[in-house]
Structure 1
Amino acid sequence: MTRYVFVTGGVASSLGKGITAASLGLLLKARGLRVAIMKFDPYINVDPSTMSPYQHGEVFVTVDGGETDLDLGHYERFIDVALTRRSSVTAGRIYQEVIDNERRGVYGGATVQVIPHVTNAIKDHVYGLAKQSEADVLIVEIGGTVGDIESLPFLEAIRQVRHDVGRNRVFYVHVTLVPYLKAAGELKTKPTQHSVKELRSIGIQPNAIVCRTEQPLPRDVREKIALFSDIETEAVIENLDVATPYEVPLRLRKEGLDRIVVERFGLSLPPADLSAWEEVVERVARLSGTVRVGIVGEFVALHDAYLSLVEALRHATIAHGVALEIDWIDARELARGNPDARLGKLDALVLPGTWDDREEDGKALASRYARRAGIPFLALGYGFPVALREVLGVWGSEGPTEAKGLPVSASLPGYGWVGARPVELAPRGMLSEIYGKERIEERMRHREGVPFSWAEELGRRGGLPEAWSEGREYLLGFRLEGHPWFVAVQFYPEFASRPTRPHPLFLAFIGAAVKARARTPLR
C-alpha cells in the first residue's frame, strides 16, 4: 500500500523543490520507511541529454544509463539510493508514448485527448515505479511552477491519484516564496496566497506549505498563510536560507514536516535518526583553512553545469576538515591568455567531463600546467582523452589528433557508453589502492573510447595505465609517474559521492591538495 507525496512549486522557479523533496525523503527513510522518488519535468524534450548545460544545468546519469535532470543528483545524495531512468519522466516522453500507442491502435480508434490518455500515461509512471520499488512512500516532484500551461496535465494527474487511491494515502506539499521587502520592513504573503489559490482552482488542496524565506516567519504570518490556504498553522513550514543545503533536512525536521506527513498517513514510527547527517553539518561549522580548486570548462558561467562535481569536492573537503574555494576558469579565456598566470594560485586543478571536445586547447593547457607545475590534477569523463592527448603531445593546435597513423580515440557502438559499467584496475596500482579493490563499477557518458593499444605509447611518455574495460579493449584511466598526484579517468565518480560517504577518489584528490597547500602556504 504505497503512500504518495506530491511536491509542487509556486511563485518562482529555483525555490528548492528538489532539495525539499530530497530532504523529506531522507527524513522518512530515517524513520524506517522504504522511500522511492521521481520527478516529472514539463518540457517537451524526451530527456535532457541534448540540452545545453546553460539551459538546465548538468545531465545526471543514473546507473542504468538514464540521462536525467540534476534534481536526481539531489535525491541520490540525500536519500542514498541508486536511482534508475524510471525516476525521471518528461512531458516529451509522455507525449511520445501516447502518440506511439495511438499509432499502434492501443486506444481502439478513440479520440486521443489530454484527459484521460495523457493523464493516464502520467499516472502509469507513478504507479509503475511504486510497484517496481515496493516503496512505502513514493515522493513525486512536479517541475515548473503552478500556473505554467505545460504543467497542467501533470497537476491534473496527481489530483486524480487522490481519487484513485484515497485521500489518506496522498499528501500534497506546496513550495512557495515569502519575500521580505526591505523598504517596507516586512514579509509579504500575497505571492503565496495567489499560488495556493491557483493550485486549489485545479482541485488540489495542499496539506503543507513550505515557505522559502530570508527571514523567520512570525506566528502571525504563519496564521495568515494558514487561514488563506485552509490548512493548520503547524503545516506552514519555514524554510530559511541556509549556508549549506545539507542543513535543510534538519530544519524541516525541527519544523515537523515529516511528523505531519507520517500522522496524515496514520503511521506510528520512531523519530528520524539523523546523527550521521548532523555530524556532517557540525563538521561544516568547524572547517579550518581553505583549499582552492580550479575547475576548467566551457560552461563555468552556470555553476549548476557541474553540480555533482562541486558537491563531490565539497564532501571530500568536509571530510578533510577544510573549506572549499572554487576558481571557475573559462577554457576559452585560458587558451587566449596566460595560463601560468591564471592558474598559478591554485592548490589543485580539475578538468571536468562534457559530451564533446569543444574548447580543447584551453583544457589541454590546464593539463600541461598541472603536469609541469606538479599540482594535484584530476581529469574526469571527456577530460580523460584531453589529458591523454596532451601527455602524448597530439592535442588540438599542438598537433594532429592521431600519432603514428593511429587514432587516439575510436567511436563506440551505438550511442556510446552511458550508465554504470565495470572497470578493471591495475593490481597494486594507485587507483586500486584508493578504491581498495581491483574491480569497480562507475558511471560513464561518452561516445568515443581510447584503444588500450595506446597504453604502450603512454608508458613511454611517463604515464601508467591504471584502469581499463573488460578484456582490455579500452583504456579508462592513467596517472603520471613521478608526479605528486595526476590522475585521469573516463568516468564520472562524482555521481556516486554522498555527504556521509565521500567518494574515495575525491578523498584522495583533496588529500593531495591539502598536502600541496601545506607545502606552499603563501598561495
Structure 2
Amino acid sequence: MARFVFITGGVVSSLGKGLASAALGALLQARGYSVRLRKLDPYLNVDPGTMSPFEHGEVFVTDDGAETDLDLGHYERFTGVAARNTDSISSGRVYSTVLEKERRGDYLGKTIQVIPHVTNEIKDFIAIGEDEVDFMLCEIGGTVGDIEGLPFFEAIRQFSHERDRGQCLFMHLTLLPYLAASGELKTKPTQHSVKELQSIGIAPDILVCRSEHPIPEKEREKLALFCNVRPDSVIAAYDLDSIYDAPLAYHKEGLDQAVLDTFGIAPAPQPKLGVWEDVSDRVHNYEGEVRIAIVGKYIQLEDAYKSIKEALMHGGMANRVKVRVDWVDAEVFDREDAAPHLEGYHAILVPGGFGERGTEGKIKAAQFAREKKIPYLGICLGMQMAVIEAARNLAGLVDAGSEEFDHEAGKKRFTPVVYHLKEWVQGSHKVKRSETDDKGGTMRLGAYKAKLLEGSKVAEVYGTTTIEERHRHRYEVDIQYKEELEKNGLIFSGMSPDGKLPEIVEVKDHPWFIGVQFHPELKSKPFAPHPLFRDFVRAAKDNSRLV
C-alpha cells in the first residue's frame, strides 16, 4: 500500500512545485523506494493538447499517448519512471468524465454535485496504481486560494481522512520574500498561505520555503511556531545554478529525511546519491563549449521547448561540454537571408510546431545547414521542412509544400510532399482520422516502433536497428517521393514496421544531418542522455574544433 505525499503551493505561482516533487521522488528512489508522480491541474481544458505553447509551455507526451503538463517531463527526467495517461488529470477531464456518467445514467437519477461526485472522481484518480509503488507523489497545480482549485483541495482533504493515520503527508511550497530596505526575510505571506490551507481543513506537515537568502534560525522557529510544523520540517529551497543540483540541495536541507520522519519510517535507509553527484559534476565541470541555434516560432517562451533544451544539456553532459543555446526566430528568415543569423553556430536544431508561420524560415535553416555541412537535427516539423527543402533544391520539385499550411494560404497548385495522415496502425488495430475531427487527442500520439536502415547514420547512433519513440503530429512525409529524394541524396533511414511511414531521414555525404518525425527529447534524462542528442552534441563539439 502506497504512502501519499500531496504537494501544494502558496503565495505565488511558478515557485517550482514540479521540480521539488521530482527531486523528492529522486531522493526517495536513492533510498531504495519505488515512486510514481502525478499532476492534478485545475484548468478546464481536458488536457493541454489544444493549448498554445505561449499559454502553457510544451505538451509532454507519454508512451501511451497522453498529452500532459510539462511537469511530467521533470518527473521522468529525475526519476526515470515513464509517465502514463493516469498520471495527469485536469478539471476539464474530471468534469467531462462526471458528465459522461450522468448522461449514461450511472448516478441513478441523483443530483450531481461537486461534493461528492467531482471529489470522488478525483479521489479515484489519485488511488490508481497505489499497490504498485511505495510512494505516490501528487502535485496540485495552481496556488492555494485559487477558486478553480478548491475541488482538488477538498478531494485530498477527504482522501487523507479516509486513509489510515500516517498514510498521507502534506508538503506546502511557499515564498519568503526579502525586503532590501529592512534587510529582512518576511514570513507573513507564508503564514497567510498556511492559514488559507488550514481554513479548508488541510494542515501542512512540511514547509518548503523558496528564498534568495539564507533563512536564519529565528525565522525557521517562527515559521514552525505559527504554521504548526516541526522546526526540522521547515526546508529551505534556494535558487540553484542548475535544476540538476536540486536532489543534492534538498537532501542537504533534509527534505527526504523530514518526509520519512513524518511517516515514522525508522531507521531510514541511507541514500545512494552517486548518480546525482555524477550528474552535478558533469553540469559544472565541462571541458569546452558549443553554440547551438534553435530555429523556432515560439522562442518568446522557452518553456515551449523545455524538453529540447534539457535534452541538449544532457547531450552536453555526456560529452563534457557546456551547451549554449541561442533562440533564433524562424520568421526573421522569411524576410532576410539566413546566413548572417546562423554563421558561427556549431549546430542547428529545428523543432516541431504547428501552422504556416515561420515555416519558410525553417526551410532556409535546413538549407543552410545542409549546404554549409553544419550538424542539423530536425524534429517533427523540423524533419518535414528538411524534406521539403531537399525536394525543392535537390530533387527539382520547386513547388514542394505541405497540406498543413499550403492549402491554408490559398495555394491551389503545389506538390504535397507532406500530407494529412488519415489512417495508420497503432498496435494491433487501425486508426482513422479526418481533417474535420476534433483537434484534441486526434493526432498520432505516443510510442511507435521504427526499423532503421542497416549501415545508416542513425543505426550507428542508436546501436540497433529497432527503436521505439514518442510521436505527436497529424502530418506525414509522403512515401511516394522516397525514390526520387534518395536518388538525390536524402536517405530514408528509418521507417514504420509496415514500411509505409517515414520516421527518419538523413543527408548522404554530410557530417551529421538527421530529421526525425518523432520527439526524442521526451525520453532523454540527465543520467541517460538520448542517443540522438548525445551524438548531435558530439558532432557540434567536433565542428567547434573546425570553426
* Structure 2 gap ranges (5+): 404-412, 424-432, 434-441
Instruction: Find the aligned partners of 2:392 and 2:303 in 1 and give their Cα distance.
Output: 32
Q: Which amino acid aligns with 1:183?
A: A
Per-residue CA distance 1:280-334 (angstroms, 9 max, x = gap): 1012221232111000111000000000000000001112111111110111122
* Secondary structure of residue in 1 paired with 2:299: coil
Equivalence for 1:256: 254
Range with bigger deviation, 173-182 or 55-64: 173-182
Q: Which moved more, 1:412-421 or 1:302-311?
A: 412-421
Q: CA RMSD in A?
A: 1.7
Q: Measured at CA, do residues 28 and 10 of structure 1 come closer, stay the same or move farther in structure 2, by a change above 3 Å?
A: same
Give the match for residue 194 of structure 1.
192
The residue aligned with 1:226 is: 224
Amino acid at match of 2:335: R
TM-score (norm 2): 0.92
Secondary structure of the equivalent of 1:442?
strand
Q: How far did 1:272 drift?
A: 1.6
Q: Which residue of 1 aligns with 2:175?
A: 177
Structure 1 distance, partners of 2:4, 2:493, is: 45
User: CA separation in 2, counterparts of 1:477 and 1:221?
Assistant: 56
Partner of 2:299: 300
2:341 match: 342
Secondary structure at 2:331 match in 1 = helix
**Match for residue 278 of structure 2?**
279
2:504 corresponds to which letter in structure 1? G
Distance 1:406 1:285 in 2: 49
Q: Structure 1 residue 457 and structure 2 residue 484: aligned?
A: yes
Indicate yes or no: 2:419 matched with 1:410: yes
Length, aligned pairs only? 517
- Percent identity of paired positions between Structure 1 and Structure 2: 47
Once the two structures are superposed, residues 118-174 of structure 1 have per-residue CA deviations (whole angstroms, 9 ceiling, x without a partner) of 10000010112324xx11110000000000000000000001111111230001000
Is contact 2:391-2:398 (8 Å) kept?
A: no
Shift of 1:439: 0.4
Task: State the partner residue of 1:22.
Answer: 22
For residues 499 and 187 of structure 1, the distance between their equivalents in structure 2, rounded to whole angstroms, comes to: 34
Letter of the 2:93 counterpart: R
Match of 1:365? Answer: 364
> What CA distance in whole angstroms lies between the structure 1 residues aligned with 2:478 and 2:335?
31
TM-score (norm 1): 0.96
CA deviation string 1:91-142 (max 9, x = no partner): 00000111111111111211111111110000010112324xx111100000
Distance 1:341 1:398, change over 3 A: farther
What residue identity is the alignment partner of 1:220? K
* Amino acid corresponding to residue 446 of structure 1 in structure 2: H
- Contact 2:293 2:345 (8 Å CA) reproduced: yes
Distance 2:542 2:393 in 1: 32
In the alignment, the residues of structure 2 paired with residue 406 and residue 286 of structure 1 have an alpha-carbon distance, to the nearest angstrom, of 50
- C-alpha distance in 1 between matches for 2:461 and 2:124: 43
Contact 1:41/1:144 (8 A) holds in 2: yes
| CA deviation string 1:166-193 (max 9, x = no partner) | 2300010000011112222221111111
* Distance (Å, rounded) in 2 between the aligned partners of 1:311 and 1:190: 35
Deviations 1:326-384 (A, max 9, x none): 11011112222231101112111000012444321111011111111111100011211
Q: Distance in 1 between matches of 2:70 and 2:241?
A: 20
Q: Kindly indicate whether the alpha-carbon contact (under 8 Å) linking 1:394 and 1:401 is maintained by their aligned counterparts in 2.
A: no
How many angstroms does 1:463 deviate by? 1.1
Q: 1-side partners of 2:467 and 2:355: how far apart?
A: 25
User: What are the within-5 Å matches in structure 2 for residues 122-133 of structure 1?
Assistant: 122-131=122-131
The CA deviation string for residues 187-245 of structure 1, in whole angstroms up to 9 with x for no partner, is: 11111111111111101000000011111111111111111100011100000000101
SS in 1 for 2:210: strand
Question: 1:477 aligned to 492, 498, 504, which one?
Answer: 504
- Displacement of 1:249 after TM fit? 0.9
Q: Is the 8 A contact 2:44 2:92 kept in 1?
A: yes
Aligned to 1:484, the other structure's residue is in SS state coil
SS at match of 2:143: coil
Shift of 1:465: 1.5
The residue that corresponds to 1:55 in the other structure is 55
Q: Counterpart of 1:329?
A: 328
Q: 1:398 to 1:198 in 2, by over 3 A?
A: farther
Aligned letter for 2:276? W
1:82 Cα deviation after fit: 0.9
